[in-house]
Amino acid sequence: MKTSFRTVAAIAAFCATMLASGAAMAASTTTNLSVTANVVSSCSVNSTTTLAFGAIAAGTLPINNNGSVTFTCSSGTPWFVTANNGSNASGSQPRMVSSGQYLSYNIYSDNGRTTAFPTALGTLGSGNTGGTGTGGQQTVTVYGQVPSQLLPPAGTYTDTVTLTINW
């Protein structure tokens, strides 16, 4: 039993030492950690919807439809959207192409289709083509029209317009 008593005494001594050292670590100090971030003026495109005119038959022109671009700009960032005249333009006239044949169309910044969509900075359209970032998603609608014209041969006509978000 002496061995057991010695073992118990050693364990008790060890626990007393640990408790004493824990009491010695009861003091503390504090410091501050700096946290920083630099939010920059920026915009990013979230999505686009196709400006699709659908089936065009004789006697149905003009045909109107809409497309859009949805983007996010940091809060307070001024933005402005411009468009080029597409991949198949003749001068400033946007055109869709199919097998070397063309179908003219126009894009506008307003639902009444009276103001051409801006193609250069500083020419604010009458629609929502410029503004200030909110930090959330914002959408600019592109109003399109295939005007009255002689219809080209049947086919699927396409074009690509580049929209640029400037900030």
Looking at the predicted structure, is the pLDDT value of residue 121 above 90? no
Asked whether residue 8 is domain-assigned, the answer is no
Measured CA distances, 112 to 70, 89, 104, 122 (Å): 21, 23, 18, 21
User: In this model, does residue 8 exceed pLDDT 70?
Assistant: no
**Residue 138 near residue 127, CB atoms below 8 Å:** no
145 three-state secondary structure: strand
Asked, for residue 53, whether it belongs to a domain, the answer is yes
* pLDDT greater than 60 at residue 1: no
The reported pLDDT for the residue numbered 22 is: 55
Range of 103's domain?
Answer: 43-166
Q: Within a domain: residue 117? A: yes
Tens-digit pLDDT profile for residues 138-160: 999 999 999 999 999 999 999 99
Q: Which residue has the higher pLDDT, 21 or 164?
A: 164
Q: How many domains does the chain have?
A: 1
Torsion 125-127-132-133 (CA) sign = negative
Kindly report the CATH number assigned to the domain that includes residue 50: 2.60.40.1090
Q: What is the pLDDT of residues 81-120, one digit of tens each?
A: 999 999 999 999 999 999 999 999 999 999 999 999 998 8
pLDDT bin (cut points 50, 70, 90) of residue 128 is: confident
Q: What is the mean pLDDT of the chain?
A: 89
β-pairing verdict for 95-98 and 106-108: unpaired
